[in-house]
Structures are given as C-alpha cells and as structure tokens.
Amino acid sequence: MTDLQPGNPFLNRELGQIAFNRRVLAQAEDRTIPLLERLKFLCIVSSNLDEFFEVRVAGLKEQIKIDTPVLGPDGILPRQVFRQVSEEAHALVARQYQLLNEEILPGLAQEGIRFLRRATWNDAQREWIREYYFRELMPVLTPIGLDISHPFPRVLNKSLNFAVELEGKDAFGRSSGTAIVQAPRVLPRVIQLPEEIGGGAYSFVFLSSILHAHVGELFSGMNVLGCYQFRATRNSELFVDEEEVKNLRIALQGELPQRHLGNAVRLEVADNCPRHMADFLLEQLDLAHDDFYQVEGPVNLVRIMQVPDRIERPDLKYPGFMPGLPQTLQKKKAMDIFHMIRNNDILLHHPYQSFQPVIHFLQQASTDPDVVAIKQTVYRTGADSQIMAALIAAASSGKEVTVVVELLARFDEEANINWARRLEEVGAHVVYGVVGHKTHAKMAMVVRREEGKLRRYVHVGTGNYHASTARLYTDFGLFTCNEEVCADVNEVFMQLTGLGKAGKLRHLWQSPFSFHAEMLNAIGREAQNAKSGKSARIIAKMNALLEPEVIKALYAASGAGVKIDLIVRGVCALRPGIAGLSERITVRSIVGRFLEHSRIFYFHNGGEHSIYLSSADWMDRNFFRRIEICFPILEARLKKRVLTEGLNVYLRDNQQAWEMDGEGNYRRRSVRGNRKLCAQEALLTELAAAKQS
C-alpha cells in the first residue's frame, strides 16, 4: 500500500466539525423549512458548538499549552488548527446571530410570537415583570461584590452571569466598582407573559432582560453604570484514573461536580459589553482575544430550544407523523413478541417505524414467567426510561438481570449513575464494562425457557435505548433468535461481566478485537475482486470517518477500480475525487429533519451482498478504545430493505444532500421540479404508513 505518511491526503478533524455546523446552520437559513424548526436548528448549532469547545477546542488548547510536537494525520500543528478554528468559529457565530436578528425573530414577530425587548415594554408589562422579579428571581440571586475578601468567582461552565459596574459606597464603605451576579440554573431563561399582559398568546421575555432592568435592586444605594451578560465555556473532560479507583461509580460521583469548573476555553459576552470589561473578564478567566465572542443577543441560544415546544402552531413546525410497524408486528393487538421473532428476524427503522416494540420486548420479558434472565447494555437512555423501569421490575420479581452501564457516556454520566444505583438496590447485577474501553455496543438479550430448554432472543441496534431520541435519530434495530448470532452476543456479555480470553465469534465483528481487521479485510476483498475483473462495490454510511488505516484501504480500493460511495453525516478526513488517489470515491452528508445516526456497511462480496450494521463509526476510538459490535443482516428480504431504505435512497437525495470535494468543501445538491427527492420525506411516506414487510 502507498505510504501516506506526509499527511496531506487527510483532512483536519476540527475544521471538519466546523464545516458540519455550517451545514446545520444552512437548515436555519432555509426558508422552505417551518420557522420554529429553523429556530431549533439555530439552537442546535449552539449546542454543537458548546460540546465542540468543551472537548475538541479544550484538547487543542491543552496540546498548545504543553507545546506538543505531535502532528495529526493531516500534518497540521495544534496551534495552526486552533487559529483556523477560531477564525471559522467566529464567522459561524456572527452569521448565526445575524440570522436570528434579521430573519428568524422578525419572522416570528409577524406570526405573533414576540420576544419583547426592554425598550418596548408598556406600563402593564413593566409592572408584571417587576412583580415577577421580586417574587421569582430576587430571592435566589446572590450578588458578589469584588474586593480583597471576595475574589472573582469561579463561574460554572456555560452558566449565565452578569458583570455589573457600580459607583458609590455600600453600608460598609466598600466601593470596588464591580460585582458579579450568577443566574442559578433553576431559573428559566425565557419567561412567557400572560396573554392579557403580553398582548398576544405568545409573548416572551428573556431572563437577561429582566435582570438588566432590575439589577439595581441588588445594590441598594449604589448607582449601576452598566450590566453585561457573559458566559464561560470550560474544559469538560472527566479525569478519572480507572486503573487506580476501586469503585468507578463513586469516583465519578466525586468528579462530576468538577466538570463545571475546568479551565475556561471560551468567553461569550453581549454586544453592550465595553472593551475594558471584556478585557477584565478575559484576564480573570485566563483567556486571550481569540477566545472572545461578542454576540448580538442572548449568550446562550441553547436555552431557547424549549420555546417551540410551548407554542401550539403546527403550521410553523414539521408535520406530525405516526411511526409505522412492520406488517409482522401488526397481526395481533396483544402481540407475543417472542413468537413473532421465532417466525422471522424483525427489522425496525427508526424514527419512521416505532421504537415501542423494543420497549415491549423488555416489558414482556420482565413479566413473562418463562423468562429467566435478561442482559442489556446501557449507554444513553435518559432520566425517565420505560426500558430501565422494565429492568428494575424484572429484577424485583426475582429474574436474573445483568446490566452493563457505561458510566463514562459523555454528558449522560449522572443519569447513568442514578440508574446503576436503582438497579443495584433491587438486586440486579450492575457492571461498568472494561477498564479503558467504553461499552458502546447496543444489545439486549432475553433467555426464556421453552419446551424444556433455554432459548435466547436478542435485540441489537445502531442507536441507544432511548425512546426520545428514537423519534429524532435515524437508526436500525434487529430482533433475532438465530442461535449463532445469539451465541455471539452472549459471548460478548461474558467478556464484559467476567474474565477470560475473547472467544471466536461466528458472525459479529467486535472491537477492540476483530472489527478493525475484518473491516480492512472486507475492503481489501473488494479491491482484489476489482483487480480480478469481478464486480466490486462499497457503500458505507456513518457519523464520522477518521481512522487512517481504513482511509488508506479505501484509497487502495479506489485505485484498484472499486466504486465507493460514502455517506458521512459529520467529519470526514478522507479526500474524495483526487486523481490518482480517490477518483472513484464520493462523499456526501445528509442534514435534515432527523439526525442521521445509523451506521451501515455494504460490500458486493462477489454477489453475496454483505451488509453489516453497527453503532460504531470508522474512528480510532470505535475500533480500539471501545466495546463495539458490528452485526450482519442475514435474511435476504431484510438485506434488501437496508440497502433500499438505508443507502440507495440517500444516494439519490437531491434536497438534503451535501457533496464534499477533495478540499473538504461542501456543495448542496439541489434539483427542482419533478425530479426532487428528499430521502427522509420519502421514508416517512413509505414507512410511517407501515407498508414495509
């Protein structure tokens, strides 16, 4: 294989993430999308950027601090990456707020949905807001005057704060001139006025506006010269030495509060903040000008995400839909899920098809007297979960319940700790996976006594056991009682809960053992077939493509004559369409109503048409630092479904598809007239109507 060590055949990860957020922002710019949905996309960009700064930018800054000489596959030094990221992020944020102020807020106002500025409040509104302030806000506010005995507070990660400039002396004769007011997280960031006060059904006021108007009430007898909202983003990686701790859950419980107090990586301030105050805040947070973002509006757009849910305007939202069911699950009202799985493997395509059968599978298992054991992995499941309630009920009734809870699922650690505690309290076996490897595989197994012997039933999927995200993310899930597949899943559970060498699996590819090697073999087999003059084809869909060896293998396959189509929602380090390197490779990204989350890998394989599903992207962490499974679709009718619904329709999409060039730039495909095809809308029409077998 050609040595690609110089690095230029690889694109940069951080810049790729910024490019992805530009594609998300394009959804907010799209005037064909309902207005409240455009507002949501605007908020999603802010949420994505928060995590990007908390993790990726924080990592860059740490590398810069220790002056690491290590180059990534792209060959760019961390300092150079940070400089480009800062430039791109500033431009992205500027466009985001321009869109908010010039299109979305005015558009909502025309629809009777208003965010009232202080200058527009009438007397009745001003009086209602004043009463609200004294009743709901002032009792929980704690102003901190800065002086020798009150240093600058360590403001929490992503919290809303106000820097207040004052003149005069307080009761003790102090006159520091500056105070900090932190808005507690329990306070709503957007307050809805009563219809008779707001002058319409949907009139809102930002918490920041209320505090601005009444901040003087916190400093009796002093004159407020200025009040400026600001927000600090901090490094949010958890630092737990898994080799040293005796109880990972207890260690994490002690570490989680520190997440809010990591080193600052970004400062956001409102547009009214003067330069001297901005410089003061930067100095206190130990940040430089490149870390400074001055915005024209609220410093935390993420908290506006909840507003559309409070507005009953279906005409300003995506049309509702009822998820469908495969015909095999429509035959009985009180369905026996185990009987149906025995008849045939069952494939579910979320959110077009319902997640309820997955919940029903575990609920039925929890009450079925013939079920003797349940095993499941939990990565993300939410704070209110019917599935977890079913597992608790099963354990409470005396069934053997084993749950592998991933405590290090980023930003879901607290919910998972709580579920682990509740499961342990009712006698479930709770394990936390393998030290140094996150358990990311999505699998559940039920063991049932039938006709004097034990039979295993398995659900494996590409997405989390999370009912809420199952209505927002595209994922596949498979029910099967295939003995060999079930034996493979059981083997993986045995590895996670016990000790011993990894056994050979018949159908599953598993990280960190066989997945990477099997993937390289599958790609290499297509290359060899192409060289031999046989048909060869690869189609793959995933969230991210970064692992260098896989990229090299794809380049080699392209050179051998294999046509390769990649559907990569987020970051892609591979350069497509480069002469002599990747001219037979295309890369596209689909960004639409639903978050594309399924991972699908298709290989022509000499006419066998091998199709695998997984929760793993083609990234170093998924191949080498996580417990992942990649499972095959064995039945021909289900292979056809995955190929049709999961891949081919996306390759034909000309409405939500973005095509990537060799420099990492994306161009939106757009065809008007009768040839328009939006993959997500087509799947909604087909599957939500429950036509698929």
The 10s digit of each residue's pLDDT in 492-543 is 999 998 877 777 899 999 999 999 999 999 999 999 999 999 999 999 999 9
Alpha-carbon Rg for the chain, nearest whole angstrom, is 27
The residue-averaged pLDDT of 259-283 equals: 90
Give dist(CA 11, CA 76) in Å, integer. 9
The whole-model pTM stands at 0.92
Of the candidates 648, 677, 459, 621, the one whose C-alpha atom is nearest the C-alpha of residue 541 is 648
- Does the pLDDT of residue 94 top 80, yes or no? yes
The residue-averaged pLDDT of 581-592 equals: 97
- Does the pLDDT of residue 172 top 60, yes or no? no
Helices (H), 256-412: 275-285, 337-343, 356-367, 386-396
Distances (CA, A) of 599 to 146, 184, 412, 542, 632: 52, 40, 22, 4, 12
pLDDT at 1: 36
Q: How many CA atoms lie within 13 A of 471 on its CB side?
A: 7
Binning pLDDT at 50, 70 and 90, where does residue 257 land? very low
pLDDT cut 70: percent of the chain above it: 91
3-state secondary structure of 309: helix
Residue pair 613/598 in contact by the 8 Å Cβ criterion: yes
Task: Work out the end-to-end distance of the chain between its first and last CA atoms, rounded to an integer number of angstroms.
Answer: 44
Q: Specify the DSSP class assigned to residue 614.
A: E
Phi, psi of 423 (to 5 degrees): -65, -40
Give dist(CA 278, CA 163) in Å, integer. 10
pLDDT at 469: 92
Binning pLDDT at 50, 70 and 90, where does residue 60 land? very high
Looking up tokens 């809960």 gives 497
Residue pair 295/208 in contact by the 8 Å Cβ criterion: no
Q: Which residues of 278-309 are buried (b: 16+ CB within 10 A; e: fewer)?
A: bebbbebbebeeebbbbbebbbbbbbbbebbe
Give dist(CA 368, CA 387) in Å, integer. 15
What angle separates helix 58-65 from helix 78-99, to the nearest 10 degrees? Answer: 150
pLDDT cut 90: percent of the chain above it: 77
Q: Minimum mean pLDDT among 73-87, 573-587, 648-662, 670-684: which range?
A: 670-684
pLDDT at 175: 62
Give dist(CA 463, CA 453) in Å, integer. 31
Distances (CA, A) of 153 to 30, 184, 207, 261, 645: 41, 14, 21, 11, 53
| 3-state DSSP percent of the chain in helix, strand and coil, to 5 | 40, 25, 35
Phi, psi of 325 (to 5 degrees): -135, 145
Give dist(CA 398, CA 366) in Å, integer. 10
Binning pLDDT at 50, 70 and 90, where does residue 271 land? very high
Looking up tokens 């809805």 gives 192
Give dist(CA 211, CA 208) in Å, integer. 5
Known catalytic residues are 440
Catalogue the E-assigned strands of 393-472.
400-405, 429-431, 438-439, 443-450, 453-461
- Does the pLDDT of residue 267 top 70, yes or no? yes
- Does the pLDDT of residue 110 top 50, yes or no? yes
pLDDT at 376: 95
Exposed, middle or buried, 112 (CB in 10 Å: 0-12/13-18/19+)? middle
Q: ω before 351 within 30° of 0 (cis)?
A: yes
Distance, CA of 648 to chain centre = 25
- Does the pLDDT of residue 5 top 50, yes or no? no
| 295-316 tens-digit pLDDT | 999 998 999 999 999 999 999 9
Please give the single-letter amino acid code of residue 32. T
Of the candidates 686, 596, 605, 676, the one whose C-alpha atom is nearest the C-alpha of residue 641 is 686
Please give the single-letter amino acid code of residue 329. L
Looking up tokens 């106000």 gives 162
Distances (CA, A) of 87 to 41, 264, 295: 22, 19, 15
Looking up tokens 């095509």 gives 659
Binning pLDDT at 50, 70 and 90, where does residue 221 land? confident
Residue count of the chain: 693
Q: Minimum mean pLDDT among 83-92, 120-129, 219-228: which range?
A: 219-228
Looking up tokens 């392209």 gives 558
Helix (H) or strand (E) holding 542: strand 537-542
By DSSP bridging, strand 161-167 and strand 563-568 are: unpaired
Most confidently predicted of 5-19, 324-338, 636-650:
636-650
Of the candidates 466, 478, 474, 475, the one whose C-alpha atom is nearest the C-alpha of residue 416 is 466
What the block records as the tokens of 318 is 């995506």
| 472-498 tens-digit pLDDT | 999 999 999 999 999 999 999 999 988
Q: Specify the DSSP class assigned to residue 185.
A: T
- Does the pLDDT of residue 171 top 70, yes or no? no
pLDDT at 252: 41
Helix (H) or strand (E) holding 167: strand 161-167
Exposed, middle or buried, 195 (CB in 10 Å: 0-12/13-18/19+)? exposed
| 147-167 tens-digit pLDDT | 766 788 889 999 999 999 998
Give dist(CA 168, CA 175) in Å, integer. 6
Indicate the average pLDDT of the chain.
90
| 349-394 tens-digit pLDDT | 999 999 999 999 999 999 999 999 999 999 877 778 899 999 999 9
Q: Which domains, ranges and CATH numbers included, belong to the chain?
A: 13-237+263-316 (3.30.1840.10), 327-497 (3.30.870.10), 509-687 (3.30.870.10)
Point out which residues pair with 430 in neighbouring strands. Answer: 403
What the block records as the tokens of 352 is 């077009």
The residue-averaged pLDDT of 109-133 equals: 96
Looking up tokens 């001055």 gives 294
The residue-averaged pLDDT of 193-199 equals: 96
Distances (CA, A) of 219 to 171, 294, 470, 509: 10, 26, 49, 64
- Does the pLDDT of residue 274 top 60, yes or no? yes
Sign of CA dihedral 231, 232, 236, 240: negative
pLDDT at 6: 43
Binning pLDDT at 50, 70 and 90, where does residue 170 land? low
What the block records as the tokens of 180 is 């900090």
- Does the pLDDT of residue 120 top 80, yes or no? yes
Give dist(CA 347, CA 460) in Å, integer. 10
